[in-house]
Amino acid sequence: MMRQKAFKSDPLPLTLASEKYVEGTRTQLPVNNRINKPVDIKDVVQFAGQDDKKYLIDGTGQGDYMNYLPTNKFEIPVDTALVLANGTVSSRFRNKMVSPMIWEYSDNYAYKGDLAIMDLLSTNGWKRPVYISTTVPSDQYKGLQKYFIEEGLAYRIAPVKTEGSDPGDYGAIDPDVMYDNMMNKFKWGNAADPSVYLDENNRRMFVNFRRLFGNLGNAMLEAGDTVRAIAAIQRGLEIVPAEKLPHDYFSIVLAEDLIRAGKSDEGLKLLDNITDYAAQYLEYVVRLRGNQRFGLDYSTGINMQALLDIYNMSVKMKLESLTKSVEPLINKYYNQLYRANK
């Protein structure tokens, strides 16, 4: 599909032909660091697309030749004037821009999807935006997260070294772009309508949306914009009411933002709700026999983490009454769920 025009979107200028991706070819490409320096990503892609035996490696030592990558460091050229002019890099990040961009591939193998992304980044020339959804598992980032700019429900790949520079799950947040997207452009449907049913997939998506609004509020507070921070937090609380979708681990950032924004009563009330929800779930789990807990590891862990995160926040923010109320719960459920199994 990427090779065909879709509505107003032109085909992607990929260089490897379709037959390079057919079943049974390039299923798994080992990363063999024969070249210990960055190599132009176009050359890496073309190397991986070769069929001549001299470009292959014997993966097992028994004549099982396969394509491979000769380095894990890919150099992507950057036209700095272009990326500033077309908005790939906003003025906010001008001083953090890199040229060239060095992608240090973090996995030991590359798969067809990875090769397609390499091909895209090698030919796009920063002319069109390239995004990775925030819901994509982090093990699929393959080192690109160092160049993520969060703009809402997706990370934009940009030639900006963002690691640890701004608040956010990965990379940095562009608060102005993200605010416009989350508050003005995106539509949240009728999730708040009591008559609209949310299935398990929708519930997972909306707790993630709450977290993203929390990230946005945090970024606005860091930028000194308390008014827009509070507006973002309120929207995160409104898209689905607690009566329909109880607040859990993913809403902790919203509560912290409220406290930092001067709305301590609201923030503490939200933390109490999250604590109660986590404690109720963990109490349910400890009452189950061992074999009845099958499949509950993730939910158990995330609710235990909620208590731990709230405790750590309370210590950091010197919320002594909250610390005293959460600490006994942590000790109780940790002993019953984990120490009892040792």
Domain hosting 115: range is 18-173
Q: Is the pLDDT of residue 24 over 60?
A: yes
For residues 255 and 163, the model is more confident at 255
Looking at the structure of the chain, the number of domains it has is: 2
pLDDT in the model for residue 29: 95
196 and 302 both lie in a single domain: yes
pTM: 0.89
The string of pLDDT tens digits covering residues 258-279 is 999 999 999 999 999 999 999 9
24 and 163 both lie in a single domain: yes
Output DSSP code: residue 105: -
| Residue partners of 205: CB distance under 8 A and separation at least 6 | 135
**3-class DSSP assignment, residue 202:** helix
Q: Is residue 300 part of a domain?
A: yes
40 and 145 both lie in a single domain: yes
Per DSSP, which regions of 197-325 are E strands? none
Q: Is residue 297 part of a domain?
A: yes
Strand pairing report for 39-40 and 73-76: parallel
